[in-house]
Structure 1
């Protein structure tokens, strides 16, 4: 208390002046767009824009048909259907992200009302954290969070957990110049906002508050939006442009072709007839453009992402932003922190090396009483460490040996203590022993080479100790040496004036302590590397420790050189060009500061990499935000979670592999839908195109195209979006983000199958024009005659064959790229339900009187239904036979 009274602190007037000058001790929350603007952002997607244009054109056509040609109100169903598709796609995407942001809102709240002990006008008082100002004098005690950046005035055995800023769990802090460590990330005499006091106590003077603190600068960097476009955004943008160009080329061909046909066939030119003909031609061209746009694609993407978003939660991936689901599948580099992600963030005794025949009770008593840490047994399972993690590791080792340190401490009486300091690098405690009843024992613990040098006796040679320490040092482990001395009865205590005067210390042994690698990490790292994903470690720890962890997880091997590792200061000194050239071969950045990780991410992105970042601390937040996908840990800081796209609930690196599997499978599902819908669109476009040149009514009516292009494709989107992920995708390399989403294999199948379906339907259409078909059995005795009007029954047959052939092709599309049977339904309950709905819906719309007028169809004979189903199903059976043949050849 006397020490506290040496400082008078600020007066109320000084507090007011400093608050006005330097601001309050709060982090300014980021400004968020209003909900209406967030919703409108969804309309900036390329395919949504194309759909909007198509919808407006469709409205124009419908208005002309209704008001100019006196057609019924059913002409407005197609534009309504298009705008419904737009609203569903944008609405679902907005809703799911709004829900996720709502769940995450609490993560951005900081407890600014937490009480803090300060000295003002010579009195110690408690004030809310938010009311701290620059130059306030603050009292720090064990367990509390540092409320602002400050410089130390006095300190005693102060140990700070800086892992939220640097990744370092324990940093010794002192105001004394002789104890300064030049290699630390932040100066030894400074404590930073958001870090935690693990041991000791101190008095400090505030140097920065709120946004001006190190934590505040990191938080500000998190808010910078780099507008990183995801690979899927880029590929769908390319696809949208491609579809637009192709549809306009074909539409132009229709206009030119019909003009040539008109001019060739006319006897004499009349402007009125030509104008009416051109208006009809324009309507056909615009209709074809509308038909060619895949209305179901935005819906498919949204459904796939939403489905994956929900299912990924079961694999411990809480997705906040939809795009992150798919982008994980394109990831080429994962930048990860070390502590808490690769390691357990729990110091453990890796090896306890005891020499001679020292009594086990002496060892247990020394570890229990000569320590300041403690264990929390309140939670079920293994107890949690309170205080210094290194000392906590010793208590956990005692616990594993069946010893309760609390019982030992309770039974002994402490007579004298010498706290640990960086000056003498050991600590000592004298107790009335229980292990040796009636005797006093001195226990010493500290740096092994220091403790061994203090000892007069030992059951081991110094050479052996040095060799053992070299092995531990090579493995980047922390080491502690132990010694004890039984004091003579009546002898004075060996601790006098903060100095140890021991004359007969005996060396007991050494403990090697490390933060162990998580058991699942080596396999998870190997899985990522086999999937073509590079892993890079960015940590605030030492190069030696980082290299050892990389070796244990299988990332570092004998072929790696110093070019694969760099420190934060060295990395900062590199020019942007030097960074860009070196980042690919880097595996480790040690002693990294928050902005080093972000710079690494941005350099990788400039090299064309798709980057995912893992992290749990405030120091990771800028990189999490800058990355294509940010993955925070479930027990990470709120700032890290706010900056991330996905939160890994179980803190397991193996969950990253699962997220990649989901992302790659999702991308395949989108490709399968494109394969299906573009095949449908190719068939429909060619049918409309050739129908225009055959001088016949449109083979497909507006409402029929609505069913094909919207209803059926929407259900197909749902069917293909619900397909489960396949682990086989992890054997592939990451896809090239710059290549089209339509592969050569897909284009061949789209054109080949589309042309086949078109030729089949064109043959039927030609037959219907030149003979009277009342049943499909009439094709057995086909006799062509002069061109005639096509009946409603024939058009219904044509429409039904169109739908059913594509219905069976849906099974082929869902098996695309899997080399598996299209009839493999394990885990596909959603698919089965949806295909039943499509089939029943098609039969119902043809056979139900209420739908017949709306869709311009009539009832079909049951024999025709059987023929259509059996004939159309050949699409599936031929594919299955071919797949079986190919599979047997591989075997």
Structure 2
């Protein structure tokens, strides 16, 4: 056996030189497709393709009118078709830009793993650096649960087993050793080497880095890891179903518009009803078959329908209107197809995925500022539906600042270390029977690295001016037994210089377990006295450790089959280590319980300690009984049926074992609960993976983080409460987007359909509808996705995870407000059709007559009224179910900016001559008087809501 070495590691200058020569420890992701290619993919949607084809044919007709018929309108005949292309480019372009932004957010989150802290030795001191800062030549310390940051050769190893399944697919961990006689000849990788990306499952060791970044084995087979957004949550499924339903309904509207407008063109001659046959057949195939067919089949069917429809229309025209020219027919038919397709484009919520994506990306980025690092996208939404939180105690409820509170070593006078043999044996046992270390980078504030409990002991030694490093270097470690949750103790056999080079066995762990291994106690202290002291400490929620040693004679085995089998151990005493409750936790727990979320503590501590912590945080009350607390062995003895009947009553599981937490989660899920679980250790990984949302701790193991969905950077329970608030607010933001979009859908689709059957010119042209689509899809998604979270959501009960996303109040708003907008616009359309309106004040002395068509000014008035009423309704949607005024804009800079863009854009297209032709706006735009009337009149949408809000508030008061 080799004597433990005190490694110096690299100096700062050597680190820089190594990084210059060998590069950084970062895997280079594969090149992405160029931006132009990603942008062109936006035009792959069949509806956009149809719109582009129709737009191209429209340009051909305009060319014919300009050069063939020498139209008096001149170049203005090209404005509408060109406007169609501009609107398509604008809509797809803005969506593309914001998808790139969301993708950038996710790329940043994917790089988080490179910032995880790694324990290294540099400048003769143990410290931590980011994984990406590891260089060739670094000395790295690895413990159970750590992810190995780079390839290297082992310098030391103790019971080291590494999971290499990410590289070789082997499910059984590989044994690692520095001793040649233990090397496995058939191993996938050398026994004395460890590789980047693999995980330490058991034991610990030290290795020297030989390769970093792309030059590691992991780097050679690396494929860019993406955040897992493929998980189908109930929200995903609901939105998919809703989108499918809206799409099918929009196809029905499109078919009706095609048949209706052509019927009107042919003056409702019965034979024209035959056009419904190919139209019904085509849209039936679109709804039922297009998802199953290849793209080229879909394209062929679409072209075939286009040809059949055009052929039928031309035949009917030749039969019914033999003397009329064909130009008007072709223009009307193409216009009809474009309007029908545009209605589908407007109705289909293509902005919905972007609203969800942007909401998630925004929430993920902002949640990082509240110490919630979201690793998997779906966790944001699911956290809002959480009904039960199963939490650890240490670090989550407590401060995780373990310090020795009190010692009871029975051979020490006044508990002060001296130069006696028993004191030196105690010091050496604490120093060598430990996997922790101290970072002395800050001389004034040394920091414990590794297990916090063991680190507290080393800091206590340091405060006594004893060097743990020196003691470790003066011994030769012969055997080691790492700590496990099942064993509840750790042991080491060393060749010590304290007793003439003889071997000493040191044991440390749970006091009752260690005491049970001992034959005698220093000072002949009775078991009753020890138990009394332990009870006193545990009632104060303190962690206790017991210590024992035995000076060995001969070569008799004292460690066998993973257990201590020595028969002459001496119990040295106990240490109480304090980890006080975080000051913000009681309020955070109360907030969660008030929000209808049950909190359960799962800890390895004694029932007394766990109950005391529960009392301090407000979870355990005088009304609770033995039914609300259970120990690990009692928990394991319950059958699944018994557990399911009792699980909702449980508040605390003490002396919990590794698989207890996973079984608890499974039982809660069987009871239809949405479960969030916290964990920081490798043994927590199964529960973290099983839960609906796994919450790993910032200082937890890599295995725990890998299994989790969210990492709580500051380990605090209060951060979990913030994650719930964000999840609930995110869900409401998506509801608000749907409320706004579907209300606009109802009004837009019905008004265009009504216009088709009334025989009027389409009240909204293709370019105008595309502008409306841009407002309600892309802009609304951006505006409503960026709304800040509301603390008021924590006063609500958890939502039913399976409830339909459109709740009853939303449904009534969509039908009521959308229906009102439709009726109002229909009346306005009828008036414009049967009266000559040159200004809105003409409505005061209205005289209706025969249908006279719609003038360009009337169409401009109608379009502007439509946009502005929905513009003001955007603020109503933003305030939906917040209990606040629609004019409450705190934290809504994004909404105000986008609202300004919409308003300025609408004014620009109505008033700027170059844009007027593109959007079929009357020359000269609208008068200032009409603008004032429209703005004041359409804003009534907002003021009526505000008046209702005030009356409702007074009534409730």
Q: How does 1:562-711 map to 2 (within 5 A)?
A: 566=632, 570=636, 588=653, 591-593=656-658, 601=665, 608-711=672-775
Superposed, 1:149-298 pairs within 5 Å as: 193-195=200-202, 228-251=231-254, 254=257, 265-266=268-269, 271-272=316-317, 284-298=339-353
Corresponding position of 1:183 = none
8 Å Cα contact 2:680-2:699 kept in structure 1: yes
Mean CA deviation greater in 537-546 or 875-884: 537-546
Paired residue secondary structure (1:528): helix
Q: Mapping of 1:496-507 within 5 angstroms?
A: none
| 1:379 matched to 2:379 | no
Q: Distance in 2 between matches of 1:776 and 1:296?
A: 34
TM-superposed CA distance for 1:597, in Å, is 5.3
Deviations 1:308-340 (A, max 9, x none): 222222112223443333332223333444544
Matches of 1:315 and 1:524 in 2, distance apart?
14
> Does residue 369 of structure 2 align to residue 303 of structure 1?
no
Aligned ranges 1:91-170 → 2 under 5 Å: 91-104=100-113, 140=157
After superposition, the CA RMSD in angstroms is 5.7
Partner Cα separation in structure 1 for residue 931 and residue 784 of structure 2: 26
Cα drift, residue 726 of structure 1: 1.0
Counterparts of 1:480 and 1:625, CA distance in 2:
31
Q: 1:815 and 2:815 equivalent? A: no
Mapped pair 1:862 → 2:928: yes
Report what 1:328 is aligned to: 383
Cα displacement (A) at 1:749: 0.7
CA displacement, residues 317-370 of structure 1 (integer Å, 9 cap, x when unaligned) = 223443333332223333444544444555444556799997576799987883
Distance in 2, matches of 1:510 and 1:833, equals 64
Shift of 1:642: 3.8
Range moving further from structure 2, 631-640 or 580-589: 580-589
Alpha carbons 1:239, 1:740 under 8 Å: kept: no
Pairwise mapping of residues 234-633 of structure 1 onto structure 2 (< 5 A)?
A: 234-251=237-254, 254=257, 265-266=268-269, 271-272=316-317, 284-345=339-400, 347-350=402-405, 370-372=426-428, 373=430, 377-379=440-442, 383-385=446-448, 393=456, 404-406=464-466, 466-472=531-537, 479=544, 511-513=575-577, 515-537=579-601, 553-555=617-619, 558-559=624-625, 561=627, 566=632, 570=636, 588=653, 591-593=656-658, 601=665, 608-633=672-697
The alignment partner of 1:330 has SS state of coil
- Structure 1 residues 717, 423: closer, same or farther in 2, change over 3 A? closer
Taking the aligned partners of 1:639 and 1:39, their CA distance within structure 2 comes to 39
Deviation at 1:391, TM superposition (A): 6.9
- Name the structure 2 match of 1:776: 840
- Flag the 1:832–1:262 CA change in 2: closer, same or farther, 3 A: closer
- C-alpha separation in 2, matches of 1:111 and 1:536: 43
Q: Is the 8 A contact 1:30 1:223 kept in 2?
A: no
Aligned length: 753
CA distance in 2, matches of 1:476, 1:370: 25
Shift of 1:35: 5.6
> Does 1:55 pair with 2:48?
yes
Structure 1: distance between partners of 2:35 and 2:681:
28
Q: Is the CA contact 1:89–1:298 (under 8 Å) kept in the aligned structure 2?
A: no
**Structure 2, unaligned runs of 5 or more:** 5-25, 64-76, 117-130, 142-149, 165-172, 180-198, 207-224, 273-314, 321-328, 432-437, 482-488, 499-506, 555-570
Contact 1:367–1:394, Cα closer than 8 Å, also in 2: no
**Could you say which residue in structure 2 is the equivalent of 1:832?**
896
SS in structure 1 at match of 2:711: strand
Query: Which has the higher mean CA deviation after the structures are superposed, 277-286 or 293-302?
Result: 277-286
Task: Select between 557-566 and 843-852 the one with higher mean Cα deviation.
Answer: 557-566
Which residue of 796, 807, 811 corresponds with 1:732?
Answer: 796
Alignment partners' CA distance in 2, 1:684 and 1:754: 9
Distance 1:35 1:551, change over 3 A: farther
CA separation of 1:846 and 1:517: change in aligned 2, threshold 3 A: same
Q: 1:810 to 1:574 in 2, by over 3 A?
A: same
Verify: 1:878 aligned to 2:944, yes or no: yes
Return the alpha-carbon distance in structure 1 between the equivalents of residues 468 and 49 of structure 2.
82
Checking the alignment, whether the CA contact within 8 Å between 1:624 and 1:644 is kept in structure 2 is yes
* CA distance 1:450–1:229, change in 2 (3 Å): closer
TM-aligned CA deviation for residue 510 of structure 1: 6.5
SS at 1:406's partner residue?
A: coil
- Secondary structure of 2:695 counterpart: strand
Deviation at 1:752, TM superposition (A): 0.9
Q: Write the distance in 2 (CA, Å) between the matches of 1:779 and 1:234.
A: 48
Alpha-carbon distance in 1 for matches of 2:270, 2:151: 92
Q: Is the 8 A contact 1:670 1:721 kept in 2?
A: yes
Contact 1:235–1:740 (Cα < 8 Å) also in 2: yes
In structure 2, relative to structure 1, the CA distance for the partners of 1:226 and 1:699 (3 Å cut) is: closer
Counterparts of 1:86 and 1:424, CA distance in 2: 61
Give TM-score, length-normalised by structure 1: 0.69
Check 1:732–1:301 CA distance in 2 against 1; reply closer, same or farther (3 A cut): same
Q: 1:692-725, CA deviations, whole angstroms, 9 ceiling, x for partnerless residues? A: 1110111001111111111454223222222211
2-side partners of 1:288 and 1:88: how far apart?
24
Q: Distance in 1 between matches of 2:203 and 2:91?
A: 56
Q: Secondary structure at the match of 1:532?
A: coil
Q: Which secondary structure does the structure 2 equivalent of 1:370 belong to?
A: helix
Question: Which structure 1 segments of 5+ residues have no match?
Answer: 5-28, 118-127, 133-137, 155-191, 202-221, 432-443, 484-493, 499-506
Alpha-carbon distance between aligned partners in 1 of 2:333 and 2:819, rounded to the nearest angstrom: 28
Task: Give the secondary-structure state (helix, strand or coil) at the position aligned to 1:371.
Answer: helix
Q: Does 1:890 align with 2:956?
A: yes
The offset of 1:197, in angstroms, is 5.4
CA 254–474 in structure 1, closer or farther in 2 if over 3 Å, else same = same
Contact kept, 8 Å, 2:409 with 2:415, in 1: the verdict is: no
Deviates more, 1:471-480 or 1:711-720: 471-480
Structure 1 residues 799 and 104, CA, compared in 2 at 3 Å: closer, same or farther? Answer: same
- The equivalent of 2:192 in structure 1 is none
CA distance in 2, matches of 1:795, 1:353: 90
